[in-house]
Amino acid sequence: MKLQLTNAYLLVEGGRPLEGEVTVSGAKNSALPLLFATLLTDRPCLLEGVPDLLDVRNTLLLLEELGAETYFNDGRVLVDPSSVRSYEAPQHLIRLMRAGVLCMGPLLGRFKRARVPLPGGCSIGARPIDQHLKFFERAGASIEVKEGFVELSLKEKKPVEFTFELVTVTGTENALLYAATVEGETVIKNVALEPEVLDLIEALKKMGAEVELDGRTAVVYGKERLDGFTHRVIPDRIEAGTLMVGAVLTGGRVKLRNVKPEHLTAVINKLELAGGKVEKLDDGSVLVYREGRIRPLELETEVYPGFPTDMQAQFMALLALADGRSVIKEKIFENRFRHAQELNRLGARITVRGNAAFIEGVKQLWGAEVFSTDLRASAALVLAGLVARGVTVVRDVYHLDRGYEKFEEKLRSLGARVERLPEH
């Protein structure tokens, strides 16, 4: 499998409402931990509904460099991990994506050793892995950080009890992946409950581990030898939310297929407060549109089931055209308002103070050249370009390709004018 790097920009012509039907892809944030779960076994694993994204392809490359054989076609990924012999993850791949840290738990569980580079990904704050390491230390691992690598080793695997100091999605997933290989009762408290975490738990159960949830406490009964599995990735709630915002922002009417509204309760509630309408249809799809002007909001990002930080940028683009003043408070990541100045290039009036953004709604945005600063910011800039007068140039769209499958193609199918061009 070849690494596909993107060096392109998007031309977005504004003024056309999104109209029609579109199918939401599988969730990247579910697919990646599921792919790393294949390291827990030496038997074939099949995943369906996997999005074709840069992070997914980098993860498959990582699995291959560890010794696995992979096959990816039309949303189906087959992984044969029987030949995995290495416990050292390649630096050139880990530094490209935050989720690469998720190989730590499986490698430690499989080999009692792991050597993993410190992770990369979006530049939206430090995103430390101290909670991961505290869990592994509590599990008995010796840990050394040197030359940009985390080196872990275990003498024996024993069940433990551990409480996360704060709710962390990847920390929870890493702990679950490791605990699935430990015989006996491991108790993990203050775990994340995102749908993607629950999807991983379902796969671990198929592999033979027992996982029980009681509120934010997970009790895991692992097995030394886990089975292979077949599993379908859940729909991407963030892609669905992004397209919902696009429909409301442009004043269009969009039917979304392959969506789970129960994963989007906080997003739908805020969208309807802003003037959007979300109708759940009998065939499992949803119809999204707007009545009247966009209304201002006050919202705060929170851990699930609260309003997701991954939808903050898209709502900022929406509220830039609201009829009044809005406030967004970012409580999950620091440094996640860099898209505000890019939206201001389009004519938005956004002021950032600390972890709060104050948005004075304007009547019109204007096309300009803007730069993506992270994955969700790139989507927000494209959405803003859909309603800006004239043409918007969105650069550094490799961020977009990390987390949205064929995003501009889906927008074009809904009537948008979006063109991808290579950088010179």
Which residues are designated catalytic? Answer: 122
Unique residue bearing structure tokens 């792991």: 114
Which residues on adjacent β-strands are paired with residue 71?
Answer: 78
How many alpha carbons lie under 13 Å from residue 208 in its C-beta half-sphere? 14
User: Which pair of structure tokens corresponds to residue 376?
Assistant: 């969700």
Give 389-412 as a DSSP string.
ESEEEEE-THHHHHH-TTHHHHHH
User: CA–CA separation, 168 vs 170, rounded Å?
Assistant: 6
Q: Rg (Cα) of the chain, in Å, rounded?
A: 21
Cis peptide before 119 (omega within 30 of 0): no
β-sheet with 161-163: strand ranges across: 161-163, 185-189, 217-221, 210-214
User: Which pair of structure tokens corresponds to residue 365?
Assistant: 């945005």
Q: What secondary structure, in 3-state letters, does 287-324 show?
A: EEEECCCCCCCEEEECCCCCECHHHHHHHHHHHCCCCC
Question: Any idea what the Cα angle at residue 127 is, between residues 61 and 32, rounded to 5°?
Answer: 30
Count of other CB atoms within 10 angstroms of residue 421:
10
Sign for the pseudo-dihedral over CA of 129, 131, 134, 140: negative
Nearest to 248 by CA among 223, 273, 229, 226: 273
